[in-house]
Amino acid sequence: MEAQDLAAAKKNATNQRRTLVFIDESGLSTKPTRVRTWSLRGQTPLLHESFGWKSLSIIGGLTVKRFCFQIHKGSLKSPEVVKFIQHLRRHIKGRLLLIWDGAAIHRSALVRDYLASTQGQVIAERLPAYAPELNPVEYMWGHLKYHEIANLITTQAWELSLEATAALRRMRRLLHSG
């Protein structure tokens, strides 16, 4: 989809009284995202990490008024995408227009069949290829990784999940208070 197609989809969503939901996925690892930090003069800060990295996946949806997310162990598959859309439908009333990238899990038969089963209540449009800057959820992930949980040392996936969930909830409160 090109930029004008996306603009047309947004205009149609307004005419059809649909809520736009930008959706994206990201991964987290117990291997810390290292960023510049500070310490006392002469005391170099050290990050002690283990090499048995555990990974988590996050899927998030952002509207003008709401940010929803779910964290899963390992990589996301089509069933998790369907569960997330169901989660969105419980929390966002009315018809939805999902805007996401062209990831294979978005184009899977299971996701297509689920969208078809909503009888037009939920429709999806793809963002242009190689245009992550058009999806505001990408900026949420960047803030999470490079500010909220930067330099975080955890050894267990549950610790990472706990810290990421707390950070995402803080971000959601800030988003809705502004």
Residue 11: per-residue pLDDT: 65
Residue 1: per-residue pLDDT: 45
Residue 36: per-residue pLDDT: 64
Residue 129: per-residue pLDDT: 87
Residue 37: per-residue pLDDT: 64
| pTM to 2 decimal places | 0.82
Residue 104: per-residue pLDDT: 95
φ/ψ region of 130 (left if φ > 0, alpha if ψ in -120 to 50, else beta) reads left
Residue 43: per-residue pLDDT: 75
CA distance readout (Å), 96 to 69, 107, 160: 16, 17, 31
Nearest to 19 by CA among 93, 103, 83: 93
Residue 67: per-residue pLDDT: 95
Q: State the burial class of residue 87 (Cβ atoms within 10 Å of its Cβ: 0-12, 13-18, 19+).
A: middle
Residue 30: per-residue pLDDT: 73
Residue 174: per-residue pLDDT: 86
Residue 55: per-residue pLDDT: 84
- Stretches in the chain below the pLDDT threshold 50: 1
